[in-house]
Amino acid sequence: MRKIQLIALWLVALTAQAQVNYKVNVENAPKSQTLYLVTALRGNVLDSLTTDTQGRGTLEGQADEGYVVALTADKEHITPHATFLLDGQDIAFIWDEGQPRLQTASSTNKSYLQMQQAMSRMKQSEQQILMEYSAQRLKYQGRMPDSTYTRLIGLYESNNQKLRSMLQAAVQMNRNNLIPVYLIRTNTTLYDTDFLSQYVANYPLAKHEDMKPILTLLEGESYKIKGTRFADISMKNLAGETVRLSDWVGRGQYVLVDFWASWCGPCRQEMPHVKEAYATYHPRGFEIVGISLDNKQEAWQKAVADLGITWPQMSDLKGWQCEAAKLYNIRSIPATILFDPEGKVVATDLRGDALARKLEKLIK
């Protein structure tokens, strides 16, 4: 992974966005129905109208900045009638056979609608592949023929790659509008970190309010880059005492930070490998610090005892909201980060025998 340029990321030349005027017309909509204008990513209600007896109405006002919005009959926008951009230009919808159809819009909104339609088709194709996969597993009681498995996996990966390519091309072609904000936020896993870091560093709207989770993600990824010094954090140990990562990391020994939880099956399966590495290399200056993503002290404590874990532990008992997990952008567990004696990243996600093999090379 190329090193993320955080300085460029946080110093994007961007002043506060100007307020945006909007005017949204609807025609032939359901009569006497309340429609809400809601921010699509945060769910904030910006405005509302009640259509007249002819199904007509107009939303007109000013937003503090541009947003991707949903026009919906329910405040939770679970099933929005339409999503579009507040880009300072008028937009109009006319209901046709119960569905809104774009009548007037800016060129950006028209492009956005075309992208939505293309993405919808590709996601429908993905769903069809997954449905066939499930049907074949059921038919063969979980042991489908290799040829069938290979064909379906190939179709899925091909469709997924096409979707990735389309999404990357879409944000490249829309560097000066809000389309990338929505596409990146709603399809984050389909953009690899290198691409995102380079894109965001040069995206004029990188500091838009809706991009904050992406900036946090990239900052977390930056702390896992080989050679990067650790980011410290404090939590409680099993005795309820406040401890810091710096109590162990950066103090002249190799330290594995292990993100795990009592409820995590793969974490438990991994423990024999971790225990074996600890037994072999701890006497030679190797330490492990477990960071638990548990919610309950009792479950955490019982798992430590049941699994025979003897190395230091820390947790804030916030589950997936664990501050350390958010800081290091941990989105699945088990997850590990190995730090050198100076507290710099050596490797990440060492699973199975890979941990022992790595330590064998490092600790003579």
Average pLDDT of span 172-187: 90
Q: Which two tokens stand for residue 262?
A: 């009592």
Residue-range domain boundaries for the chain: 20-105, 109-222, 234-362
Which has the minimum average pLDDT: 147-151, 313-317, 338-342? 147-151
**pLDDT at res. 17:** 52
Mean pLDDT of all residues belonging to the chain: 88
CA 294 – CA 302 distance, rounded (Å): 11
Question: Class assignment of domain 20-105?
Answer: mainly beta
Average pLDDT of span 90-112: 90
The residue that leads in pLDDT, 98 or 236, is 236
167: confidence class by pLDDT, cuts 50, 70, 90: very high
Nearest to residue 46, comparing CAs of 17, 66, 29, 26? 66
**pLDDT at res. 4:** 42
Report whether pLDDT(248) > 80.
Answer: yes
Longest dimension (CA), the chain: 82
pLDDT in tens, 257-281: 999 999 998 899 899 999 999 999 9
77: confidence class by pLDDT, cuts 50, 70, 90: low
CA 256 to chain centre: 24
pLDDT in tens, 36-60: 999 988 888 999 999 999 999 999 9
Amino acid (one-letter) located at 50? T
Amino acid (one-letter) located at 138? L
Distances (CA, A) of 96 to 30, 78, 284, 364: 11, 21, 74, 74
- The fold adopted by the segment(s) 234-362 is Glutaredoxin (3.40.30)
Q: Which two tokens stand for residue 168?
A: 């990357």
Report which DSSP code applies to 350.
-
Amino acid (one-letter) located at 58? T
Amino acid (one-letter) located at 342? E
Residues facing residue 295 across a β-bridge: none
pLDDT in tens, 190-229: 888 888 888 988 898 888 888 888 888 888 888 888 999 9
Distances (CA, A) of 13 to 8, 204, 294: 9, 7, 40
